[in-house]
A and B are shown apart, each in its own frame.
Chain A
């Protein structure tokens, strides 16, 4: 059933009610910071107040936006690459389980590489363009997505598989009809985590060297003794992460309409 508009608005109200504690706690934190910066006597070149950061962000908004765009591009492009790779490989692993034992150790090692060491090398190899950012974003997001997908396939209810096979479905049919949809909750859980890693990965890559981007913007601001601008860029990246996270949640709602049904669990009739 399509949720009626009244239930939609009720959902929205519920969302605000759920968001309220977060808003209040972040607000209190900013307030404490503001008071501390104003009355403790610490110089604004060391600890700028949130109000100052905000004012400076407004003054420099063109530069911030200008630098945010390459970061967004690297994040999304890198994430798209890692997602396609993870999806392709997850299917391969699902159809040929021995591959899992062969490949997973390699991926686990890839996750232990310190970004601090890898980022400059990747920039050295691939230059200041989009490529090294895409690679780093892919590196940090690929494995969590792969694990999420593979785990999701395995969470398929055994009986559903048995029913399908008794109906005459082959492996491919079982994969498409049962294993893939079973993996969706896992996929979205992975997506929500990875999308935050992705932004961090992109900024790290830029920090190691880039023509433009939030990472290089932060580096320059730091070198110019402008912690207010560093923090303004941090604010932008946090906002970016939140938006991407929100998009992932929205996407999950759209892709899994039965989840709401699960939560309501109306239980009707005998």
Chain B
């Protein structure tokens, strides 16, 4: 049973066709990535999901059409979008505050999570006082405490340096194994997609179509080294091939018959 399902979603800005034909599904407790080059239209897809913009095609959540007021998603944008004027604690409770929680109740609810997110002791700091990795974790914490049905993560580690990014990917994989969020991740990092996902949708360049759907059968936990790492490398090579040689007729995505 899939939670989120998109059928033939399209979006154009004036004459600029950005999303040509996007059909995908995300199952309960599944971690799915959308992998595509910069400017392909990935963020646009999330703007359609959060209702910030409108496009064509059909979007369903738990089988019912997604209206713009349906609050199924907790959204983490490409930049952390922490409010510089709020302390980390107040940034993290923002979603709960909007939901109508009292400040005290909201704080009580997030307090125990600070340690798990590596933010203990930084509750009273302003975002500018934190490193990039910590800011991303704070933004992620702000996203997950909303306890929505599904996480939408838009290139959460795109702005980080390579080492920090790898550390954050490992940390997120571990967090996901504990919490089993239903998650849709946008990324342009092949390794990140393979490392974190159960399934990957590879997008073509703009106008974006699903070029391929790829299952990632690697066992978890996904540490470095070993057999799994070799398998992962092979998968990464295959995906890179799809992206860099789009001429080699892409297979239609599995599980989809275009009616």
Contact = CB atoms under 8 A, between A and B. Distances in A.
A163 B128 contact: no
A186 to B, nearest CB: 13
Contacts of A1: 124-125
A268 B126 contact: no
A261 interface: yes
Contacts of B124: 1
B201 interface: no
Interface string B188-199: 000000000000
Contacts of A261: 125-126, 128-129
Interface stretch (A22-30, A62-70, A177-185): A177-185
Nearest to B76: A163
Q: Which residue, of B73, B75, B85, B131, has the highest number of chain A Cβ atoms within 10 A? A: B85
A168 B52 CA distance: 11
B68 to A, nearest CB: 10
Given A159-B78, A258-B84, A164 B98 contact: yes
A196 to B, nearest CB: 26
B51 interface: yes
Contacts of A60: none
A268 B75 CA distance: 26
A181 B83 contact: yes
Contact of B95 (A167, A266, A269, A270): A167
Contacts, number: 92
B79 A157 contact: yes
A264 B126 CA distance: 11
Q: Which residue, of B52, B94, B98, has the highest number of chain A Cβ atoms within 10 A? A: B98
B50 A162 contact: yes
B133 interface: yes
Contacts of B52: 162, 165-166
A267 interface: yes
B154 to A, nearest CB: 9
B115 interface: no
B164 interface: yes
A166 B75 contact: yes
Nearest to A165: B52
Interface in B127-183: 127-131, 133-134, 146, 152, 164, 167
B75 to A, nearest CB: 4
Nearest to A173: B98
Interface string B77-107: 1110101111000000011001100000000
B131 A269 contact: yes
Interface string B45-87: 0010011100000000000000000010111111101011110
Interface residues of B, number: 37
Nearest to A270: B133
Contact of B134 (A157, A163, A268): A268
B118 interface: yes
A268 B128 CA distance: 10
B94 A177 contact: yes
Q: Which applies to chain A's interface (DSSP): helix, strand, loop or mixed?
A: helix
Contact of B85 (A159, A258, A268): A258
Contacts of B47: 162
B167 A270 contact: yes
A92 to B, nearest CB: 24
A159 B131 contact: no
Contacts of A265: 128-129
Interface in A1-25: 1
A256 interface: yes
A177 B97 CA distance: 10
Contact of B81 (A159, A257, A267): A159
A121 interface: no
A169 interface: yes
A166 B99 contact: no
Given A167-B98, A270-B131, 9 more contacts: A162-B81, A166-B50, A177-B94, A258-B84, A261-B129, A262-B84, A264-B128, A268-B131, A269-B133
- Chain A to chain B: the 3 pairs with minimum beta-carbon distance, closest first: A261-B126, A159-B81, A166-B75
29 contacts: A1-B124, A157-B81, A159-B79, A160-B81, A162-B50, A162-B52, A163-B75, A163-B76, A163-B81, A165-B52, A166-B51, A166-B73, A166-B75, A167-B98, A168-B71, A168-B98, A168-B99, A169-B98, A181-B85, A257-B126, A258-B86, A262-B84, A262-B128, A265-B129, A269-B122, A269-B131, A269-B133, A270-B134, A270-B167
Interface of B: 47, 50-52, 71, 73-79, 81, 83-86, 94-95, 98-99, 118, 122, 124-131, 133-134, 146, 152, 164, 167
